[in-house]
Chains A and B, each alone.
Chain A
Amino acid sequence: DAKTTQPPSMDCAEGRAANLPCNHSTISGNEYVYWYRQIHSQGPQYIIHGLKNNETNEMASLIITEDRKSSTLILPHATLRDTAVYYCIPRSPRDDKIIFGKGTRLHILP
């Protein structure tokens, strides 16, 4: 499994875009990048995933560098409810297991 590096914590002002980086320099060719978040005392929530191309859904956008060694999750207009721990997880479709790293604790400031 590819290892990831994420900043331990970040702050973002409410209403601004939150950009969460993830380094996954050892990602292999068939591994997608998945992003989950965990709000306090809840189970992880799936946000978005991608392989090579940038992706967007109703929750967020995912920007993956051309060499696939890093990615950025973008929450376009952060709200207080986006305060959570965000996890970046490379995973191959053949593997069902998800191994969590330490993630980034995002604080949205009023």
Chain B
Amino acid sequence: GAVVSQHPSWVICKSGTSVKIECRSLDFQATTMFWYRQFPKQSLMLMATSNEGSKATYEQGVEKDKFLINHASLTLSTLTVTSAHPEDSSFYICSARVPLAGDQPQHFGDGTRLSIL
């Protein structure tokens, strides 16, 4: 079945640094991937849609200069949290599905736990 992998699983860094998170589709090509953020005891919140070869589409209220998304190949999307601060600490999750696959489901990565000190 379709597998989505995220790296790293967790990262701790100092305030002011930038952090890059990778999302890969391992056994299929994904023209579209999605990035979510989840705070403790809350549901997943969609941040943006990552489009291969074009600009990402951000949900309302998500700062595109803060959360840079690059989808340079059909199997890799990256999310860079720029100048991270403690309030950016969260669980970041990506998803993808096989394109033009009708009712086939989205598959999710295992998430990246980001802690900013």
- Please say whether chains A and B are actual partners in one complex: yes
Are A98 and B110 in touch, CB under 8 angstroms?
no
Q: Chain B at the A interface: mostly helix, strand, loop or mixed?
A: strand
Q: Is the CB of A45 within 8 A of B108?
A: yes
**What is the size category of the interface that chain B forms with chain A?**
20 to 34
Q: Which of B29-69 contact A (CB under 8 A)?
A: 32, 34, 36, 43-46, 49
Interface assignment of B73: CB less than 8 Å from any CB of chain A = no
Measured between C-beta atoms, what is the minimum distance from B105 to chain A in Å? 4
Q: Is B106 part of the contact surface with A, judged by Cβ < 8 Å?
A: yes
Of the four ranges (under 10, 10 to 19, 20 to 34, 35 or more), the interface on chain A belongs to 20 to 34
Decide if A41 touches B113 in the complex (CB within 8 Å): yes
Judge if B107 is at the interface, Cβ distance under 8 Å: yes
List of B residues within 8 angstroms of A85 by Cβ: 43
Q: Main SS of chain A's interface residues?
A: loop
Q: Which residues of A contact B45 (CB under 8 A)?
A: 100
Query: CA separation between A36 and B102, bound complex, in Å?
Result: 18
Closest residue of chain A to B110 (Cβ to Cβ) is A43
16 CB < 8 A contacts A-B: A36-B105, A36-B108, A38-B44, A41-B113, A42-B111, A43-B4, A43-B6, A43-B93, A43-B95, A43-B108, A43-B111, A46-B108, A97-B49, A99-B46, A100-B43, A102-B43
B97 at interface, CB cutoff 8 A: yes
Given the known interface contacts A97-B49, A98-B34, A98-B106, the answer about A41 and B91 at a Cβ–Cβ threshold of 8 Å is yes
